[in-house]
Structure formats: C-alpha cells, structure tokens
Structure 1
Amino acid sequence: MSYARFTAENAALLLIDHQLGTMGWARSMAFEELKRNTLMLARTARILKMPVVLTSSMEEYAQGPLLAELEAILPAEFAARIKRLGIVNAMDDERFAAAVKATGRQRFIIAGVTNDVCTVYPALSLASDGYEVQVVADAGASPSKFADDIALGRMQQNGVTLTSTNQVIAELVGSWATPEGSQIVQEVVMPALQG
C-alpha cells in the first residue's frame, strides 16, 4: 500500500458534534485537551484555507451548542453547519452528505465526539465508499477508554487511518518554512505547547 500525503489542496476537514454536551460525556480524555486539539485543527484549516464541514446533533437538547470558539475561528462554516436532528451517522443526513460531496475532495480528516458513536459511523461509511479517511483520535473521545479503544480499532480494521492532532497538522503543513507553516507555528502550535 502506497502513501500519499494529505494536503490542504486534496483533503477536507469534517468536525462532528464538538458540542458542550457531547464533550461533557467524553471521559477518555480531559475536556480541555479535547477542546485544545479541536481548535488547533480548526485554526490550521483556516490558515491553510481547507474546506471544513461542521455538524451538530440536537443542539437544542442534551447535546448543546457547538464550541463557541468554532464560530470565531470559522464563522462561515459555523453559519453553514449541518444541524442534524438525532441522525447518528452524519453521512445518513442528506444535507451533511451533500456538503461533504460539495468539497470535491477524496480525502477526509475527521474528528468527532464521541468517537464511539459520532465518529465511527461516518468514518466507516466514507471508507467503504472508497474515500481516504484519517480520524484524529485525540480530537475526539468516548465515555470510557474501553469504548474509545473499541471504536478506534474498528475504524482501523476497516481501512481508516488513525492520526493525532500534531501529526496531521505537520502532514498538512509539509514545511514550517512556508508562510502558512510559520503562521501555524506562531498561532497554533506554540500557544498549544505553552498552554
């Protein structure tokens, strides 16, 4: 199997259900670490001008609103977010599936909360449809480490590549010496390391 690098020109970012409620249910990772990694991905995508699709589930109910910082970082994408009414697999929502297809990309970077419900099914769906998928394991979490391990293992067994926040950012950047790479070091990487 050959490796082809994910870049801002060939990949899109899908952020699924980074809502206050769902993030509060996740226990396999600390809330602040989960939030930091998610916002690092959002800031990187903005700087690199990558397509981003945001979605939420049942915002008005238990799952609550998306992270407010996502609106500040990605205002247009936040306004265009797909508000699902309880559909578990986001790819089963016609509006979300259409937004994903509209990116025109064949490679997708996915982060979601929780990994064992909100991330696993769209990742499996996209992989089975022939797309290349990376799931950012540390920008998602589950109610328990056991649930997280099972979900990540299931995705990996079905052709999904697992990655981490720092790893996928470095892959997308390619060189820290570019103007975008330098900006990401200053605005994304260093603040996260110092925080």
Structure 2
Amino acid sequence: MSGLSAAASVLVVVDLQERLVPVIRHHGDLLERAAILLRAARICGVPTVVTEHFPDKIGGTVGALRESCAGARVVVKTHFDACDEPGFAAMFATLGRRQAIVCGIEAHVCVLQTALGLKGLGYDVYVATDACGSRRDSDRETGYRRLAMAGVIPVTSEMVVFEWAECGGTDRFRELLALIR
C-alpha cells in the first residue's frame, strides 16, 4: 500500500451528530481535527461522504461542521456499518477512488464497522485517529488496535493534509498549511 493521494481519496465522516458529540471524550479536539480534514478535502478536490445514524433521533451533523460539509454526500443510516446500507457500496464505487480516510464517532462502533466494511469491499482504509472518538478511552483504543490488526492504517489529520499536499511551495500547500497552523 502506497501513501495517500488526494486523487485517490474519499473522506468518510461518520456520525458527528448533535446529540452524540457532547458525550464523546475530547470532542472539542476531535471536531477541530475533523474540520481540518473537511476543509482540506474541499481544497484538494477530495469527495466527502458524511453519515448520519438515525438523524431523527440523534440529530443531524453537528452545527460546527455543517458549513464544512457543504457539498458532501450525506448518507442516512440505520446500520452501524455504513456499507450495509442499501446503495452505499454502489454509490461509493461511483466515486472511482481506492482510498478511504475515515473519521468520526464512535471509534469502536460505527467508525470501526464502517472501516472494516470498506476494507472488506477492497478499499485501502485509513482512520484519522485524532479525528475519532468514543465515550470511553478504553473503547477507542481497543477499536484502533482491532482496526490495525485488520489492516486499516492509523493516521492523523496532519499526516493526511501533508500527503494530500504532496509538495511545498504551491498555492494549494499554502492554503493547506493555514489549516494546521
């Protein structure tokens, strides 16, 4: 597996919803990192898929990220693994990309199952660990270990930004650099 490429990537933002985010440990940091990934995806032309689990009960995507999610494909889901939703796999395939960068909540439930589902469909899957969270640290860390054992690559949002940038000295690099300063 080679490094990340903006031309090969899809950003998948899992269930960062109004009623769930406040109970997640370190949710402020998580939202900040997710926002960086969303803005970087827009700058680099990376398609974004946003999932919302039972939004009528849990609420839609958290207000702090709504603007950053403009233009994203929103998938309403009832399955913990978004890949189990009717039409999701076919929609994802139409994007024509082989790499999935996943972030969101909860790391040990919907993030884990969606990442494993994408891996099972043959995608190269990366989980941005600093843009994921769970209610308990032990669940989050165990989820990351299980993902790594399954061949999902742990990354940070800054790793993703720099790999999508590819090189310094360009206008795109300067725009991306402003996100992480």
- What residue number does 2:10 align with? 12
| Corresponding residue pairs, total | 181
Residue 71 (structure 2) aligns with: 76
Counting aligned pairs with the same residue, the percent is 24
Letter in 2 for 1:36: E
Q: Is the 8 A contact 2:50 2:69 kept in 1?
A: no
Alpha-carbon distance in structure 2 between the residues aligned to 1:65 and 1:127: 26
| Structure 1 partner of 2:36 | 40
* TM-score normalised over the length of structure 2: 0.94
Matched with 2:168 is 176
- Unaligned 5+ runs, structure 2: none
Bigger mean CA offset, 163-172 vs 145-154: 163-172
AA at the equivalent of 2:54: M
Distance 1:69 1:50, change over 3 A: same
Cα deviation code 1:73-112 (max 9, x no counterpart): 23221xx41111x211111002332322121111111112
Q: Does 1:189 align with 2:170?
A: no
- Name the CA distance, whole Å, in 1 between partners of 2:110 and 2:151: 18
Aligned partners of 1:23 and 1:114 also within 8 Å: no
Name the CA distance, whole Å, in 2 between partners of 1:67 and 1:175.
33
Aligned mates of 1:125, 1:35 — CA distance in 2: 24
Q: In structure 2, do the counterparts of structure 1 residues 182 and 7 end up closer, same or farther at CA, with 3 Å as the change threshold?
A: same
Aligned to 2:150: 158
1:193 — aligned with what? none
Runs of 5+ unmatched residues, structure 1? 191-195
| SS at 2:10 equivalent | strand
Matched, 1:67 2:62: yes
Name the SS for the 1:42 alignment partner: helix
Does the 8 Å CA contact 1:15/1:55 hold for their aligned counterparts?
yes
